[in-house]
Chains A and B, each alone.
Chain A
Amino acid sequence: MEKTVVLRVNGHPNSVTIDPETPLLYALRNHLQLNGPKYGCGVALCGSCMVLLDGKAQPSCIMPCSAAATHEITTLEGIGNQQQLHPVQRAVIDLQAAQCGYCLNGVIMCGKQLLDENPDPSDEEIREALQRVLCRCGTHTRFIGAIKKAAVYKRQ
């Protein structure tokens, strides 16, 4: 059942020995020790497991590794780090836009795709971009503010 699958994650190829039907999420978390994408619902309804596939935010909980292997995969860890923050990460920290933070991965990944495509989004466009992400703490309005702020950082 197990095969070697090569996943291109954050710019590097990784050989993973895995049942190829395993959803990408588990390979990222357990085989590659990444924490950004998280399990939330397993059926692409909450956005906790969001990654970028060829630059587009997509849930990783339903896509099998075999299919993911054809894409360029980027996780939260791949867009910035503590020393070199992505503008969306920086804005989230500056505005303290988190409570429990479990949904933050989905918010940041969707926000990044949005700003890559639209450098100056309106509130409505931001809401639309984050619509696939569920937040239970009620941090939504801070997240919207953070994406707006990130757009400013990005243009600077």
Chain B
Amino acid sequence: MPSPSQDQAFSTSRRRFLQQTGQLLIGFSILPALGKLSTAVAESGTPPFADAINTWLRIDADGQLTVLTGKTELGQGIKTALMQIAAEELDIPMKNVHIVIADTGRTPDERYTAGSASIESSGGAIREAAAEARRVLLGMAATELKVPVDQLLVKDGVVTAATSQQSVSYAALLKGKAIEGTVTGKAPQKDPSKYTIVGTAWPREDIKLMATGQPVYIQDMRLPDMVHARILRPPVYGAKLKSLPDNATGNAAGIIKLVRNGSFVGVITRDEYQAIKAIRNLQQKAVWDRPLLLPAQDGLYDHLLQQTGNSEVVERNDKVEPAIAAASNQVEAVYKRPYQIHGSIGPSCAIALWQNNELTVWSHTQGAFPLRSTLSDLLRLPETSIRVIATPGAGCYGHNGADDVGADAALLAMQLPGKPVRVQWMREDEHSWEPYGSAMVMRLKGGLDKDGKLLALHTELWSDTHSSRPGGKAGHFIAGRDLEQPFTFTAGRFSGGSYRNALPLYDTLRQVVLNNCKGPLRSSALRSLGAYANIFALESFMDELAHKAGKDPARFRLDNLKDDRAKAVIETVMKMTQWNDRMERREPQRGLGIAFAQYKNDAAYFAVVAEVEIDTAAKQYRLKKLTGAIDAGQVINIDGVKNQTEGGMIQSASWSMLESVRYHEKGIITRGWDTYPIMRFKSVPAIEVAVLNRPGMEPMGAGEAAQGPVAAAIANALFQATGSRLRELPLRPAQINWK
């Protein structure tokens, strides 16, 4: 395996790309390296030595540190944060630190990059490995310098004896050899109060590359002899290809191969636009058996509500129903969330190469290892013959078309040995075939005593799955279902995504029941999963309860919370917005709304105040400002947390105000940005975020904390401004009673 110092010797732009994305091997010596790495993986089935220091960290003869993570970069800045953790623990300057992201041939298997868990999981593992490496290196230095370990100091990768001032670098100790040893988890870790790199706003180096048009994304990869392809997707779920005339591509130029396997059709061409034109021809000439897409959209929520046969009690408390029945004030409300899209700005893309009985797939998947096992199922190839290399793409925000297009590219590449096949989905493919965030219905009941104190909360919810990731089963690929001998899709049992954050954090009696449903549209993980809708419902409902109790909604939340960190984020946004003053003043045409959640009830705390301005004459409203406060424990990169939180707030505002997938019996209607608009610059609110750093506390995932609270805060602000309670997302002005 080439060392990072070799990486640095390259200077052409292609080599820079390879270096930046950790794929040095592409186009140079991929095949021998691939064979060798595959064998190493073959021996154990899982990464060779998951607990070896060398699995996570390598220091070369020039003192360059390479961090290996099984997680992938999705635009969230994880590469920088993980490098900061390793650099901090080892006292190596950031300029000498590099990182390789998920690659089934090189890195540990860390499953999916999802659930805002990378800092906790991969970050934790890298910190332990780095602490262990430091212990090993200090042991070696003690021998070399003939002084006890406790008299050694480290600065910039150089170990110095306090007494003699003699020193030796990590690189000189290792001389290019691996850091021997296993990660015991017992090596002493640096005291967080001494951190100088972790917690700072270390800049992401990839932004310079992005801003200057360097190759950064999988979409920018150009391999020697690469060819292009597009897929003829069915017009609607489950459609079967009845006929495709032999001359279906017309006389389109540049066609290398038309691949058909059952209802799966792809066309491979020399130039990219030739494939696009060929597919347009095919779309006109293909004849399909088309099942109807039912139930009709106006009956969607009733369709969900009727499904109570597959329910589970998430938390039982037999006192809840009697407490509500006996309460002097009872409140009940039903909230709805439509199907919504991930909406990557760059449609999904993959490159696959089948050569010498080895398949290599470059993919912006969130799970390189699970994609490999699913490709193995699809192609009936042993995993040891497949290498999946994670390569950054456009932001995905969950399980979008990334894995599907990987399967598309693999199926085509198998039919054209020796040529890298690049497939990029068209915009309509992404909009109509990505697995959406599931439609959901939430029914909440609550009781208040005569003093307005919250007695009990009961939640019942209806949702389809929030995870249909391809965990080894080819039926999870769109293409898998379309083959001549199709794989069938069976939804997984994971229901935790559906009831995420349905359980109130408030100090009250609570019961939660989930009805697992089957909806008409394909669904999977969209940023925060069910938490988005569950928090929208709960935090809207808390506002309804506060109103019924005659209490200030912020005060009402504080009165029903015991967790000090929860209270702190709420108090912070109250202070930032002068909440108390402004609630007293009540400006005309303005509304303020507050909402709060601790993501997953165990990750970051987040509170937000939304400020809306209404235009009664025009029957419109405008979101003026969102003010948020987040506590994600120990912060690794303060600017990273801020950036993720700001982005989550704006994204959620777009979901909550504008977005809904529409369909009719012939298929998806919202196939582009014209029919599925998202928030544009002129509508974006002002954003202010405070980060409550907690050095010494566990770092907690921050990337999804804002999604749910923002939705509720906007609805609550609209209630204050208009008196209309909007319980169905998106929060359209037409739902408001303008009087």
Contacts and interface: CB of A to CB of B under 8 A. Distances in A.
A141 B689 CA distance: 12
A30 B672 CA distance: 24
Contacts of A143: 681
A52 interface: no
Given A23-B273, A127-B681, A130-B681, A136 B651 contact: yes
B203 A100 contact: no
Nearest to A140: B684
Contacts of B210: 98, 101, 104
Contacts of A36: 213
A56 B74 CA distance: 31
B172 interface: no
A76 B426 CA distance: 23
Contacts of B639: 96
A99 interface: yes
B553 interface: no
A14 interface: no
B92 to A, nearest CB: 22
A100 B427 CA distance: 18
Given A38-B346, A82-B212, A93 B203 contact: yes
A142 B646 contact: yes
A46 interface: yes
Given A41-B673, A137-B651, A140-B650, A102 B346 contact: yes
Contacts of B395: 99-100, 102, 136-137
Given A34-B213, A92-B211, A102-B395, A141 B427 contact: no
Nearest to A141: B687
A75 B672 CA distance: 25
Contacts of A9: none
A35 B207 CA distance: 14
A22 B271 contact: yes
A138 B649 contact: yes
Contact of A76 (B208, B212, B217, B273): B212
B681 A133 contact: yes
B344 interface: yes
A63 interface: no
A102 B207 contact: no
B495 interface: no
A95 to B, nearest CB: 9
A18 B324 CA distance: 72
Contacts of A126: 681
Given A81-B212, A140-B684, A39 B424 contact: yes
Interface in A75-98: 75-77, 80-82, 85, 89, 92-93, 96-98
B253 interface: yes
B674 interface: yes
Nearest to A41: B427
Interface in B326-361: 343-347
**Chain A, interface SS category:** loop
Nearest to A37: B213
Contacts of B217: 38, 102
A156 interface: no
Contacts of A103: 345
Interface residues of B, number: 63
Contact of A40 (B209, B212, B427, B648): B427
A2 B254 CA distance: 10
B273 A102 contact: no
A33 B222 contact: yes
Interface in A1-20: 1-2, 18-19
Nearest to A30: B272
Interface in A98-156: 98-105, 108, 126-128, 130-131, 133-144
Contacts of B682: 127-128, 131
Given A35-B213, A39-B219, A41-B427, A142 B346 contact: no
B345 A40 contact: yes
Contacts of A67: none
A34 B213 CA distance: 7
B214 interface: yes
A134 B680 contact: yes
A42 interface: yes
B686 A135 contact: no
B76 A99 contact: yes
A40 B213 contact: no
B347 to A, nearest CB: 7
Nearest to B251: A1
B273 A40 contact: no
A156 B632 CA distance: 39
A96 B643 contact: yes
A46 B672 CA distance: 10
A136 B678 contact: yes
Interface string B672-699: 1110001111101011000000000000
Contact of A136 (B211, B276, B345): B345
B647 interface: yes
B216 interface: yes
Nearest to A128: B682
A101 B393 CA distance: 9
B501 to A, nearest CB: 20
Given A35-B213, A93-B203, A137-B395, A40 B347 contact: yes
B394 interface: yes
Given A96-B203, A134-B345, A89 B397 contact: no
Contacts of B647: 99, 137-139
Nearest to A80: B212
Contacts of B343: 136
A100 B684 CA distance: 18
Interface centre among A2, A39, A105, A144 (most CB of B within 10 A): A39
B475 interface: no
Given A75-B213, A98-B207, A131-B682, A45 B673 contact: yes
Nearest to A144: B681
Interface centre among B77, B213, B217 (most CB of A within 10 A): B213
A135 B427 contact: no
B673 A134 contact: yes
Nearest to A75: B213
Given A38-B346, A102-B393, 17 more contacts: A34-B213, A35-B215, A40-B427, A41-B427, A41-B673, A43-B672, A48-B346, A82-B208, A99-B75, A101-B75, A101-B207, A104-B210, A128-B682, A136-B395, A139-B643, A141-B646, A141-B650
8 contacts: A48-B346, A96-B643, A99-B644, A126-B681, A136-B394, A137-B651, A138-B647, A139-B647
Interface of A: 1-2, 18-19, 22-23, 26, 29-30, 33-36, 38-43, 45-46, 48, 75-77, 80-82, 85, 89, 92-93, 96-105, 108, 126-128, 130-131, 133-144
Interface of B: 74-77, 201, 203-204, 206-217, 219-220, 222, 228, 253, 271-274, 276, 343-347, 392-395, 397, 424, 426-427, 639, 643-644, 646-651, 654, 672-674, 678-682, 684, 686-687
Closest 4 CB pairs of A and B: A100-B75, A138-B650, A100-B395, A138-B647
